[in-house]
Amino acid sequence: MIVMTPGAGEAEVEAVRERLATTGVHVVVMPGELTTAIGAIGDPEGVAELGLEGMGGVDRVVPISRPYKLASSELNHEHPTVLDIDGRIVGGGETFCLIAGPCTVESREQTLGVARAVKAAGASMLRGGAFKPRTSPFAFKGLGPEALEILAEARAETGLPVVTELLDSQHAEAVHAHADVVQIGARNMQNYALLEVAGKLGKPVLLKRGLSSSLDELLQAADYILKEGNEAVILCERGIRTFETATRFTLDLGAVPWLKLHTHLPVIVDPSHAAGDRRLVEALARGAAAVGADGIIVEVHDEPEQAMCDGPQQLRTRDFPRFAAEVLAHAALAGRRPSTA
């Protein structure tokens, strides 16, 4: 990373960029309030040979030691990334984002009902799967385009931005047209071609940690999106595979403060998929608020017993207002206000 002096002008930045371009490294210019930093990702020895320290306007050249580059807090030299999604602030440490909705869009009535209820209880955004990744190819895979239309209607009525998963690049256009936040599911965290497609869509991306992925791998996956010029990436800890099988996955709450140290990106937690049991979701959500998460994403259903997917972990709609109040109270203890428009 090349840090420019506070007084460096555009021509000096451009001269550095041009010299870097001769080596074939990936160059990202990051203007800050005080100084501009230039990320040069590629062969470090080639960059060292350029003699950048001697160029006009260059303050210092700082090597980035981590395997992840664009996601690294070493690179974003001034501030954490703060996203404004239709007035909902995600990241930056002052807000707590409550994303809620059904696991899967099953019908218009179901989705609109849940959307109205979560909105009334203070949710920041609506979640809902249109294209579902399922372990068995014979399980319900979502309503597809019809679900996207239903989500659009819920958005129009409630004003809640919509978070929905992009499962396959062939749905990219349709998802782009309807989603405010494009989710990349845990099973696709290392689908690098899909990450590039998501990066190019130009919408905020919610990137879920792979079932057995290390945090280094999560941040390198984020780099795939960031390198497309998309700075709006939200990371999500959603539980990992361990020897423990009592819970569906083991929620790695330690990941949150670790990520806060190592990346500038916002971090949220999914207690629903981690727990696999609605009775555990509130405790884990409170924990997420306590360890400094920027928000949570939770599943809510009117009649979880009838749900087509993930019934046991979905909160009941009627329980959601109390759940939201509890979790937001814990977030307030951590100095965070609800992320609402």
- Please give the residue ranges that form the binding site for ligand PEP (CB under 6 A): 103, 129, 133, 165, 185-187, 208, 238, 270, 273
Strands 2-4 and 36-41: antiparallel
Q: What is the DSSP letter of 99?
A: E
In the complex, least distance from residue 210 CB atom to ligand PEP, rounded to whole angstroms:
9
In the complex, least distance from residue 249 CB atom to ligand PEP, rounded to whole angstroms:
8
Residue sitting closest to ligand PEP (CB): 185
Residue 310 binds to Mn ion (criterion: CB under 5 A) = yes
Partner whose binding site includes residue 77, from Mn ion, ligand PEP, none (CB under 5 to 8 Å by kind): none
In the complex, least distance from residue 62 CB atom to Mn ion, rounded to whole angstroms:
41
Q: Based on CB atoms, which residue is closest to Mn ion, 103 or 225? A: 103
Q: Which stretch binds Mn ion (CB under 5 A): 36-44, 79-87, 98-106, 139-147?
A: 98-106
Pick the closest to residue 239 from 262, 217, 272 (CA basis): 272
Dump strand ranges (E) for the chain.
2-4, 26-31, 36-41, 58-61, 83-85, 88-90, 95-101, 125-127, 162-165, 181-184, 205-208, 233-237, 267-269, 295-301, 315-316, 337-338
Q: Which stretch binds Mn ion (CB under 5 A): 13-21, 92-100, 226-234, 303-311?
A: 303-311
Q: Based on CB atoms, which residue is closest to Mn ion, 215 or 315? A: 315
Q: Which stretch binds Mn ion (CB under 5 A): 6-14, 100-108, 158-166, 173-181?
A: 100-108
Residue 103 binds to Mn ion (criterion: CB under 5 A) = yes
Tally Cβ neighbours within 10 Å of residue 25.
16
Residue 267 bridge partners (DSSP): 235
List, in order, residues 6 or more apart from 87 with CB less than 8 Å away: 340, 341
Pick the closest to residue 131 from 112, 104, 96, 99 (CA basis): 104
Contacts to Mn ion by CB under 5 A: 103, 310
